[in-house]
Structure 1
Amino acid sequence: MISLARHYVRVIDGINYRIGRIAMYGIFIMIAILLWSSISKTFFLPSLWTLEMAQFAMVAYYIFGGAYSIQLGSNVRMDLFYGSWSPRTKAWVDSFTVLFLIFYLAVLLLGGIESASYSLQYNERSPTAWRPYLWPIKVAMCAGILLMILQCVSELIKDILRIRGEEA
């Protein structure tokens, strides 16, 4: 059972590490889109697609970087007490609080799946002048939330192993 849990941690951490490293370059996509927006507004006719495309790129950047930031432990914590605790005490607290995060992400995923299926079923489009289909970004959001849930379970397993005095 422990070897299966370690294998799960290794696989999920590897997947989220690679996706997170790729997602980091999403900032350059956003910069390119917004740069083109500025250039086109200054020298040409304004593009209809730039603002919304930058928003979609930002959502993808944020949502696919979420699991990577959980893996790196770069989420916000109250270090007033947490910073002085032993690694085992931190693992106890983290193993308890991650359950709330998993619950929140599961509810978010259920809502996202409903919204994405509605978008796919009715070919939902944005009400703007550009009118892009919304299902690609909604499906990407569901995939990113699922990756965050899988990473949270991986972190829970690591915390349980730390509580037992074993190395993840």
Structure 2
Amino acid sequence: MQAILNLIDRIIGSTGVVGAWLVAPLVLASCYEVIARYVFNTPTIWAFELGYMLTGANFLLGMAYALRERSHIRIEIFYQHFTPRVRAIVDILTYVVIVIPICAWLTYGLYEYAINAFLSRETTGMSAWNPPIWPFRVSFALGFLALALQALAELIRAIQILRNGVEHDSPDVADDIFTHQAETP
């Protein structure tokens, strides 16, 4: 079971890294747009749309990573005073009743939404650039799939805590696929 949890943590860590790296082209595009607009008086036709797509993909791919790192907002006024087993019960109910079903439903619906955009060759329709919208919509489905996967891992951890009463630390960022170094014997 631990091998599955480690694999999920590595996959989610990698989606977090990909999401984080989307900030670099976002910053470059924004800087280029500002210089082109205010220094050369020639605004781009693509910077706005690229900006909202990269920002959205960054957010969507970062949701699961935030869950893995326990960075989501939670009402701590009561939760922090619970025993590890009571927190595990609250987490199990939350993941089983709310998070996993909603993420699975959204993943399926957003996957269909992206496929339909691809098949119909739908474009954004927001600017003269007018790029295809399906890559952005794929990031929707991938983001919620990753969140469902991480919620499943957190559910398994909560069940383990319920069984043995011991909480584990969140995974180390060094376990991500992109930063993982092969161990030498």
Q: Same fold (TM over 0.5)?
A: yes
Report whether the alignment pairs 1:9 with 2:8: no
| Mapping of residues 75-86 of structure 1, within 5 Å | 75-86=72-83
Q: Distance in 2 between matches of 1:29 and 1:92?
A: 42
Identity of aligned pairs, percent?
Answer: 27
Report the 3-state secondary structure (helix = DSSP H, G, I; strand = E; otherwise coil) of the residue aligned with 2:89.
helix
Larger mean CA deviation between 100-109 and 15-24 belongs to: 15-24
In structure 1, what is the equivalent of residue 15 of structure 2?
A: 19
In structure 1, what is the equivalent of residue 146 of structure 2?
A: 147
Unaligned segments of structure 1, at least 5 residues: none
Letter in 1 for 2:99: L
Q: Distance in 1 between matches of 2:144 and 2:119?
A: 21
Letter in 2 for 1:63: L
| Mapping of residues 108-123 of structure 1, within 5 Å | 108-123=106-121
Aligned length, in residue pairs: 164
Task: Answer whether contact 2:85 2:165 (CA < 8 A) is retained.
Answer: no
Offset at 1:166?
6.4
TM-superposition CA deviations, 1:135-164 (whole Å, max 9, x none): 111112211211111110000000000000
Task: Answer whether contact 2:84 2:165 (CA < 8 A) is retained.
Answer: no
TM-superposition CA deviations, 1:59-87 (whole Å, max 9, x none): 11111111110101111101110111111
Q: Distance in 2 between matches of 1:135 and 1:125?
A: 8
TM-score by length of 1: 0.91
TM-score by length of 2: 0.83
In structure 1, what is the equivalent of residue 182 of structure 2?
A: none
Q: Distance in 2 between matches of 1:136 and 1:83?
A: 40
1:124 to 118, 122, 128: 122
Task: Answer whether contact 2:100 2:151 (CA < 8 A) is retained.
Answer: yes
In structure 1, what is the equivalent of residue 162 of structure 2?
A: 163
Letter in 2 for 1:126: T
TM-superposition CA deviations, 1:55-113 (whole Å, max 9, x none): 11111111111111010111110111011111111111011111201111122112201
In structure 2, what is the equivalent of residue 53 of structure 1?
A: 50
CA RMSD of aligned residues (A): 1.5
Larger mean CA deviation between 23-32 and 78-87 belongs to: 23-32
Unaligned segments of structure 2, at least 5 residues: 169-185
Report whether the alignment pairs 1:103 with 2:105: no
Report the 3-state secondary structure (helix = DSSP H, G, I; strand = E; otherwise coil) of the residue aligned with 1:133.
coil
